[in-house]
Structure 1
């Protein structure tokens, strides 16, 4: 008998706090954000294959997405034939769907990277591949987003980590999401985020390291063609991410954020992945 997709999806294993040697709990929201999170089966955490997220009911985008990467068991799977889809467990009116993206220059941008999720046994990797195209894991990005030099760095952060750092067991955990502000630009009944954040966690010789990044995206291209270099990637602290998002990360993540950044003046954006301080 064919399984109901909602029932099948509800049994999937999401982001796991014990994936690394150090326990990494999920972020907790400030009170006003907590009240805005969609509840599924009494929980604000929605699980998919290899990733979990919390969804803003007012904005219809994820507040955060958390996922695990098992580089030793990664599979290169095609995206051919996989369509973007709403989550059948969640009311359609609580998700930003095709009505936002049709007939404009907005791309459907993955928060949890598809390439990060396709690991494990064949059926598991294939399900993660499909799950990554759920609209709850998608946010609007300008069509030039992935072509710009700075945004290209954003998409290569995890790759740069694996290229530059000897990671224990080739395993990493990531949190990411949009910065949702009251003043975000309105379009088709939605407010479009103009900044994104990401925190990458990995272990070297059993010691956890956390590195945080912020992407500032100019969305004025919906009205006026702007230069591609309006995209900027900055290396920031976990505390700065908290201040921008209203999320609180566990003590283990703060303890692992040992990078000392220059806070006294203007900081330069990252121009090449070689400039990242791991």
Structure 2
């Protein structure tokens, strides 16, 4: 039986006025209420980098977020593209209520949170209704299996517009064999794919997050290369032949998918 939200979630404020949402003992997201464009977590920076490369501001975007937590990326989208219609699928209504009470959303936003799980929520969305679909949901530190299975990927491919972008925030062990299987699953339906992560993660030096970009349309690879070169953190892009070699032999998941690897103790994230 899952403990109630009050026992699983805590908000930690810092001296700069930011707040980190901890869930199940792990930092889930960071919010800077006075400046939503300040993104602290590396994977959130990479998600934002991908969105900006494919759809530069300030044009409003229709964005669907699977996973809510502190609503960090929806706040960033609203700050950089005011008036963007956004849907957040977050099954934990108590978590959403806590975050919205303690860290209020900006005035006149168009962020709508629906208390449903990702697969159920995406299935209920209209075809070609989103410019971007962001999958950033974790349960006990792991990506739930259904969010990388073919059943879910098919629904994401239906919802995202032909020129749109699907993003996944993934986490894997050195070697990225689970990520390779996710890529093999996704590219069967969204054939243009790329990965963005810190060099340490891409080179297998530590457990960490990887952002997967996927689309039915070609990705702006040169723009992405320039973006990762300018990133605050040492960041790399894996696409084309380098990504083909990584995925070679990886077996796609079936409809149900498979959860991401169990994260190590924070002290064990670096392997060398």
Please report the TM-score for the alignment, with normalisation by the length of structure 2: 0.32
Please report the TM-score for the alignment, with normalisation by the length of structure 1: 0.32
User: Greater helix share, 1 or 2?
Assistant: 2
